[in-house]
Structure 1
Amino acid sequence: MIEIGKRDLMGRGKLAMAHFEQNRSYIGVDFAQICADRPVITSRLLKRCMDYYEAGQIKPIHPIKTFEATQIEESFRYMQKGVHIGKIVVTMPEDPRDLKVPSYAQQLSMRPGVAYLLVGGLGGLGRSVATWMAEKGATDILFLSRSAGELSLDDPFFRELKALGCTAQLFSGSVSNIEDVKSVVNGANKPIAGVIQASMVLKDCAFFDMSYEDWQAAVLPKIKGTWNIHEALDGHKLDFFVLFSSWSGLRGQWGQANYAAANSFLDAFVQYRQKQGLPASVLDIGVMEDIGYVSRNAGVLEHFHSTATHVLHEQDLLDSLQLVIQRSAPSPLRIAPKQFVNRSQLAIGLRSTLPLSAPNNRTSWKKDIRMAVYRNLETSETSVGASEDEGLKQFLSSVSANPSILQAQDSIAFITNEIGTTLFSFMLRPTEDMALDATLVALGVDSLVAIELRNWFRQKMGLDMSVIEILGSVSIAQLGEKTMACLVEKHAVAVIEEADSGNEKYLKMKAP
């Protein structure tokens, strides 16, 4: 017997040994490996197949089950059942626009032989951006900062840039001073091809208590500083001109009237430059958790967490920065009745970790009528997904509060039923046919289905269940018992750590 399929091999199929007493053999053949290792044999076999076909000795396999290209997922589900005879064919539409194409991230490469100006880029956020630019191929970065005079090129950060093949030039000065900006342009070793304006000064206080000096301190670096860069680089051909703004410029922030006004200017300035045919884009950044000002101020970060404000991470910023760089080139504004869209302005982090209707949601913008669309989105998402995941979410939430729930027999039955329902939905089979004691092999569970189930365990339960553990389970019921054991272990460890940490855990959270 020659086995050319892989399902039984990968699914750990078993054979009774008694049949091999009569000089029988079982041989597994991986034709893909033969194609790779012995192409001459492969060529000879294919030629013989074509000769047989032309002579009419072999014909296409029948029957043929046909799926439209828009039903590609259904075709694979059907094949996974392992009950079909013949071939499964996917037909392509005459018009390719009928197919939905998934989006993908375009690659970004910085040009060698030019310099990039990073204003105010010596803080945590700016250093992350500079490293990212070097990894993307930037060979020269100019830093304009008031603190540049306090650093030397022997600083570990600049040595890291040098190891990445990037040379740094430091210029001490203020972007609010046109002469300081011009000195950077004139002192650059290579022509400037791109700008990231990330300067920021905070002088937070109530508007009625805000002095003229407080107002100017926050406004000048962004408004006058941006205008100075615009004038100093007049005539330079730039690939991008990116401004770091904040979503406070979109909807305001208590105690930051000056900062919000400056960011609103940046949003408008992008339109001004693009109307002149010049590159410009703006990134309205939300609360950054792991880099930047907020990450260095535990009290401020804790405030945002307590109000259910969504926080961003370093990779969120870098991914968004790549997008606004690619959208920095002038593009026509899309204006429709009661609608305005500027592709070169991107806001990130304007969301909440709790439903807006939750009483403990205290995000500062939840009552802003301009954000009413979020309530509509929230209602729509809830109506679609609530029936599927709400029961499991509530169960896991209850377990987090009281792990002893896992000891109840009803909990095992609930988890087992959730696994079975999910498994049958993956295989496009009605849950009415679900038998919890049926073997996974009999149900047609193969490695592809196991991978999907593994991903479901990670996403929905936070469990790292391997494909081997899944396929090694005799039945859905046994898989439910394994899952319950993993949940018990997970929450037992959490309880022990919480009991042992005490005040030490609180102090670690507060450490700078």
Structure 2
Amino acid sequence: MWKHSVKFSFITNQLIIQRAYLQKYAKAIYKWLRSLLSDISLILPKSIIQPSNSKSNLNNMVSSYFLAQSLPLIELDKNTIAKIPMSVSDAVLFRHNAVYIVAGGLTGLGFETVKFILNNGGGHIVILSRRNPNTEMKQQIAKAMSEKENTKIITISCDIGHYADVKKAIDSIQKIFPNIPIKGVFHSAVVLHDGILENLNLSLFEKVLSPKVNGAVNLHCATLNQKLDYFVCYSSVASFLGNYGQANYAAANSFLDIFCQYRRNLGLPAQSINWGALNIGALNIGVLLDQPQVRNILQARGLLLLSVPEIHEYLKKCLLLNNTQQAIVKFDFKLIYDSLASRIPGMKRRLFSLVNEYVNNLDDKNQIKRSKVNTQKSEEYILSLVSELTSVTLGDITMSSLMISLGIDSMLAMTLQQRVFEEKGVNVSVVKLLDPNTTILDVGSWIKENSSDEEKLTEKIILDTKL
């Protein structure tokens, strides 16, 4: 209607300010806006739209927020959607006036997460653990709080594998901090029981799966009425690379990866982080770092150790990127190829884009290397190789010599396995090499039975020549 040269237009915001509607009627809306301002140049600003990242704003916000790399901007005149990059360089990850839960926060990566939250603005942290902190751990907690003013860390005894315990813990948190919202959950709990697959029964699977699987579901259900900013599950590189003797652990972590997809589909925050080898006293793939032999085995497989500063740096990047699943792993690509990718076609395909040129060159080199050793009989080859690796003279080794009696340990077994595969194209099981009853003859026969037709043809030609 018109009155005193003033035109009023009524807009149903709930209908119009929606992406689908704007996309469909963008040009019509643009023409309508132009008609309203026929005498005025219409300039639609294209600027970065994002909430303030200042500490004061984050502390006073009540509703939950999601961190994102970009936001959509619909250009009405072109009927297109552009991605506006968000500035995250000065982002404050955590609010001081909020509670963050760290399940399994008394050891290793869990306690590093506690310190990480404190160092990035968090003021109230609750550690859920099945056991109470010992004297040393209490001192570490007190030290962490003393380094940050007005911060509080409490521990609550809780088995997150049982929903009743988790619900009770959440109720306790709300009583302890009645006016402070729970804004984040970090699931770092883990139980390990390694063993080859044929030795893992149902109870051993349940033992390892319970804290990971039941824990994630219970934390999810108990916090559904909380407006969380973070729900972060600590998974492992074992879920997509695998790790010898850890089928149950790999399965548990694979569940976490998929469960975070499920939460995202519900419109809830969730991130799964696949950690590699960590230099923090205990590795997320289930072995202790204070054992030099373990460290050597990991490095022989191409998994390099992440230091504490690197852990904090990449954890921050992950939270800012906010992808559903991310891996934080440091690889030596030559070794990872030798130990895994060269033998497992699926693994080679996964890593191919990262190491394309290297893989192609290495394949050619391996072909040349194999062609040189394939003229050697399997028994002679394994005798020579074992002598080289163990420094035992050939005169002291016979075909009936036990591998273990020659000093073949887990490290040497992995090296032997790698050399045989590179030079003969045969994958010999480490379990077989470490079997106390395995002899040089057994390994030689295994190589011969599984060698390429080229070696068998060579042996046939030699035999025919002698005849």
* Alignment partners' CA distance in 2, 1:269 and 1:136: 27
Q: What is residue 313 of structure 1 aligned with on the other side?
A: 307
Residue aligned with 2:92, SS: coil
Percent of counterpart pairs with the same letter? 26
Pairing partner for 1:207 from 197, 201, 204: 197
Compared with structure 1, are the counterparts of its residues 154 and 286 closer, same or farther at alpha carbon in structure 2 (3 Å cutoff)?
closer
- Residue 184 of structure 1 aligns with an amino acid whose one-letter code is A
Pairing partner for 1:168 from 153, 160, 165: 153
* Alignment partners' CA distance in 2, 1:277 and 1:376: 31
Deviation at 1:315, TM superposition (A): 2.6
- Comparing 344-353 and 268-277, the one that deviates more: 344-353
Deviation at 1:247, TM superposition (A): 1.4
* Alignment partners' CA distance in 2, 1:139 and 1:288: 26
* Alignment partners' CA distance in 2, 1:132 and 1:112: 13
Compared with structure 1, are the counterparts of its residues 269 and 327 closer, same or farther at alpha carbon in structure 2 (3 Å cutoff)?
farther
Q: What is residue 364 of structure 2 aligned with on the other side?
A: none
Matched, 1:112 2:102: no
1:5-39: CA deviation from partner (whole Å, max 9, x where unpaired):
xxxxxxxxxxxxxxxxxxxxxxxxxxxxxxxxxxx
Name stretches of at least 5 consecutive residues in structure 2 with no aligned partner: 1-84, 362-467
Residue aligned with 1:255, SS: coil
* Alignment partners' CA distance in 1, 2:138 and 2:304: 37
* Alignment partners' CA distance in 2, 1:237 and 1:355: 44
1:113–1:139 Cα contact (<8 Å) kept: yes
Matched, 1:369 2:369: no
Residue aligned with 1:187, SS: helix
Q: What is residue 223 of structure 1 aligned with on the other side?
A: 213
1:274-293: CA deviation from partner (whole Å, max 9, x where unpaired):
11100000100111134433
Residue aligned with 1:221, SS: helix
Matched, 1:380 2:360: no
Pairing partner for 1:349 from 318, 329, 333: 329
- Residue 186 of structure 1 aligns with an amino acid whose one-letter code is D
The 5 A counterparts of 1:104-503 are 105=89, 107-148=91-132, 150=134, 154-165=138-149, 166-188=151-173, 189=177, 190-293=180-283, 294-328=288-322, 343-349=323-329, 351-354=331-334, 361-362=338-339, 364-373=340-349, 374-375=351-352, 377-380=354-357
2:300–2:335 Cα contact (<8 Å) kept: no
Deviation at 1:366, TM superposition (A): 4.3
Compared with structure 1, are the counterparts of its residues 115 and 162 closer, same or farther at alpha carbon in structure 2 (3 Å cutoff)?
farther
Residue aligned with 1:253, SS: coil
1:72-118: CA deviation from partner (whole Å, max 9, x where unpaired):
xxxxxxxxxxxxxxxxxxxxxxxxxxxxx9x9855333101111000
- Residue 143 of structure 1 aligns with an amino acid whose one-letter code is I
1:282–1:324 Cα contact (<8 Å) kept: no
Compared with structure 1, are the counterparts of its residues 326 and 265 closer, same or farther at alpha carbon in structure 2 (3 Å cutoff)?
same
Compared with structure 1, are the counterparts of its residues 159 and 276 closer, same or farther at alpha carbon in structure 2 (3 Å cutoff)?
same
Residue aligned with 2:326, SS: strand
Q: What is residue 38 of structure 2 aligned with on the other side?
A: none
The 5 A counterparts of 1:46-57 are none
Compared with structure 1, are the counterparts of its residues 327 and 308 closer, same or farther at alpha carbon in structure 2 (3 Å cutoff)?
closer
Compared with structure 1, are the counterparts of its residues 108 and 296 closer, same or farther at alpha carbon in structure 2 (3 Å cutoff)?
farther
Deviation at 1:162, TM superposition (A): 3.6
Compared with structure 1, are the counterparts of its residues 308 and 276 closer, same or farther at alpha carbon in structure 2 (3 Å cutoff)?
closer
Compared with structure 1, are the counterparts of its residues 151 and 220 closer, same or farther at alpha carbon in structure 2 (3 Å cutoff)?
farther
Deviation at 1:299, TM superposition (A): 2.9
- Residue 380 of structure 1 aligns with an amino acid whose one-letter code is E
Compared with structure 1, are the counterparts of its residues 376 and 176 closer, same or farther at alpha carbon in structure 2 (3 Å cutoff)?
closer
Q: What is residue 431 of structure 2 aligned with on the other side?
A: none
2:101–2:125 Cα contact (<8 Å) kept: yes
1:353-403: CA deviation from partner (whole Å, max 9, x where unpaired):
53666xxx33x454332332434543437999xxxxxxxxxxxxxxxxxxx
Compared with structure 1, are the counterparts of its residues 311 and 149 closer, same or farther at alpha carbon in structure 2 (3 Å cutoff)?
closer
- Residue 165 of structure 2 aligns with an amino acid whose one-letter code is D
Compared with structure 1, are the counterparts of its residues 355 and 211 closer, same or farther at alpha carbon in structure 2 (3 Å cutoff)?
closer
* Alignment partners' CA distance in 1, 2:261 and 2:233: 12
Deviation at 1:217, TM superposition (A): 1.2
Residue aligned with 2:331, SS: coil
* Alignment partners' CA distance in 2, 1:307 and 1:300: 11
1:324–1:344 Cα contact (<8 Å) kept: no
* Alignment partners' CA distance in 2, 1:368 and 1:176: 34
Deviation at 1:318, TM superposition (A): 1.8
Residue aligned with 1:295, SS: coil
* Alignment partners' CA distance in 2, 1:144 and 1:182: 12
1:176–1:225 Cα contact (<8 Å) kept: yes
How many equivalent pairs are there?
265
1:163-206: CA deviation from partner (whole Å, max 9, x where unpaired):
31321111112110112211221111232100100001110001
Deviation at 1:295, TM superposition (A): 2.2
Deviation at 1:119, TM superposition (A): 0.3
* Alignment partners' CA distance in 2, 1:278 and 1:175: 20
Query: What TM-score, normalized to structure 2?
Result: 0.52
1:195-234: CA deviation from partner (whole Å, max 9, x where unpaired):
1000011100011111222111110000001000001101
Residue aligned with 1:312, SS: coil
